[in-house]
Structure 1
Amino acid sequence: MAVFVALGAFLMTLAGGWTAQRVTDRRHLVLGLAGGLMLGVVGLDLLPEALEAAGGEVFGVPAALLLFVAGFLLAHLVERLLTGRRAGHGGDEHGHRAPEVGLTAAAAMVAHSAMDGIAIGAAFQVGESMGVAVALAVVAHDFADGFNTYTLASLYGNARRKALVMLAADAVAPVAGAASTLAFTIPEQWLGGYLGLFGGALLYLAAAEILPEAHHEHPARSTLLCTVAGAAFIWLVVGVAH
C-alpha cells in the first residue's frame, strides 16, 4: 500500500519539474516562487516535524535546532569550497556559479524525497490512517520538491539533461524509500534529526542563493508576490494535511 501511494509523489514531482521548465522566460518569477516554496517547506513543515520527532536537548537547545544550524553552516561551507575550487581553476572568473553546487543541492533534494518515502512507509507501519495522512502531506509538497530540484540544478549552469536526470531521480526516490520500509523501520529520533539538518541546508539555499538571484535583475513586486505565494501555498498544504 505504501509503495502504491508513493506513486502519487512520483507524479507530483514530475509535474513540479515540468512546470519549472515551461516558465524559463519568467526566470525571476520561477526563482521567487521557488524561494517561497523552500522557505515554507522549512519553516512550516520540516522544522516543526523535526522538533517533534527528534526530542531531547543538548546544553539546553533542542537537538533538532542544533542540527538545523549545522545544516545551514554545512551548506555554506560546501558552497564556499566548491566555488573556491572552481575559481582556483579559472572557472569562476566571470562570476559564474559552480555547477557542482547545484547538483549537490539537487542530490540533497533527492535524499529528502527518499526520506519522504520512508516516512510514508513508516507511517503505514503505525496504522493505515496515519499512513494516509502522511502520504497526503508528502504528495502535496512533492510538487514543490520537483519544482525546486529542477530549478536548483539548472540555476548553477548545469545542462538541461543533467537537471532532468536529477528530476527523474527525485521522482523515483519516494517510491524507493517507501519500498525500503518493507525491510526495516527507521527510528523516529533519527528521522527528526535528518529533517532538522536538511531544513538548515535548504534555508541557506533559499535565503543566500535563490532569493538574491531572483531579485538581482528583476527586483519587481511580482517576484516578491511569487515568494509570498510560495510560502502561503505550503502553509495551505500543511493546514489541509493536519
Structure 2
Amino acid sequence: MALIVALGAFLMTLAGGWTAQRVTDRRHLVLGLAGGLMLGVVGLDLLPEALHAAGREVFGVPLALLLFVAGFLVAHVVERLLAVRQAAHGGSNGAGHGHDHGGRVPQVGLTAAAAMVGHSLADGVALGVAFQVGGGMGVAVALAVITHDFADGFNTYTLTRLYGNARRKALMMLFADAAAPVVGAASTGLFTLPEEPLGAYLGFFGGVLLYLAAAEILPEAHHRHPALSTLMCTVGGVAGIWLVVGLAD
C-alpha cells in the first residue's frame, strides 16, 4: 500500500513541476506562491516534526532548533562563498550568465533542489514506516505526503530555474524529486531510520529552506512586481500548507 501511495506522490510532484513551468509569464506570482509554500512547509510541517523527532536538548536548546539555525547559516555562507568565487572569475560581469540572474550561482539552486530530493526521500521513509505502524497513521501520512509533494515539485523546479540552471537540469531534479518518495517507501522494507537522526535532518533542512524563501525567493518576487496579487499568492501558499497539515492531523 505504501508503494501505491508513493506512486501517487510521484505524479503529484510532476504535476507541481509542470505547473511551475506553464506559468512563466506570471513569474512574480510563481515566486510569491513558492515562497509562501516554502514558509508554510518550514513553519507548519518540518519544524514541528523535527522538534518532535529530535526532542533532546543541547545546552538548553532543542537539537532541532540548533540545526535549524545551522542550516540557515550554512545556506547563507555557501551562497556568499560561491558568489565571491564567481565574481573573482568574472562570472557576474557584462552580459554573462550570472548577470542575467542577478548574480545568483547555479550551484546553489542545484544544491537546494538536491535538498528537496532528500526531503522527499524522507517523506517516502515516513510513509513506509506509517503503514508499518498501521491504524489511521498510514492514511494521515499518505494524505500529507501526496498533497505536500505538489508543493515540493513546484519548489524544486522553481528553485533550480531561479538560479539560472538550464531547463534540462531543472527537469532532471524534478524527476529525481518525484522518484524519491517511491525509493524511500521501498527502503523501509530493508531498514528503519531512527527517529532522532530524521528529526535532526528535518531541522537542518528547514533552516536551509527558510533562508532561500526569505532571502532569495520572496525579495525576487516583489522586486519588479510589488503587487497585492503577489502578496496574496504568498499568503495563499502558507494557508494551503496549513490546510494540508490540518487535514493530515
TM-score normalized with structure 1 length: 0.98
Q: Contact 2:53–2:198 at 8 Å: present in 1 too?
A: yes
1:11 maps onto 2:18 in alignment: no
Other structure's SS at 1:16 match: helix
CA distance in 2, matches of 1:164, 1:108: 15
Shift of 1:129: 2.4
1:10 partner amino acid: F
Q: Which runs of 5+ in 2 are unaligned?
A: 94-98
Report the identity percentage.
Answer: 80
**Residue 24 of structure 1 aligns with which residue?**
24
CA distance in 1, matches of 2:238, 2:12: 18
**Residue 224 of structure 2 aligns with which residue?**
217
CA distance in 1, matches of 2:205, 2:28: 25
**Residue 57 of structure 1 aligns with which residue?**
57
Other structure's SS at 2:82 match: helix
**Residue 71 of structure 1 aligns with which residue?**
71
Give the alignment of 1:1-242 within 5 angstroms: 1-93=1-93, 94=99, 95-242=102-249
Other structure's SS at 2:90 match: coil
TM-score normalized with structure 2 length: 0.95
Q: Which runs of 5+ in 1 are unaligned?
A: none
Q: Contact 2:125–2:188 at 8 Å: present in 1 too?
A: yes
Q: Contact 1:119–1:134 at 8 Å: present in 2 too?
A: yes
Other structure's SS at 2:140 match: helix
Q: Contact 1:52–1:192 at 8 Å: present in 2 too?
A: yes
CA distance in 1, matches of 2:135, 2:189: 15
Q: Contact 1:122–1:185 at 8 Å: present in 2 too?
A: yes
Q: Which moved more, 1:86-95 or 1:165-174?
A: 86-95
CA distance in 1, matches of 2:69, 2:218: 19
Other structure's SS at 1:202 match: helix
**Shift >3 Å, 4+ stretches:** none
CA distance in 1, matches of 2:81, 2:120: 25
Q: Which moved more, 1:18-27 or 1:92-101?
A: 92-101
Shift of 1:96: 2.7
Q: Contact 2:83–2:103 at 8 Å: present in 1 too?
A: no
Q: How many residues align?
A: 242
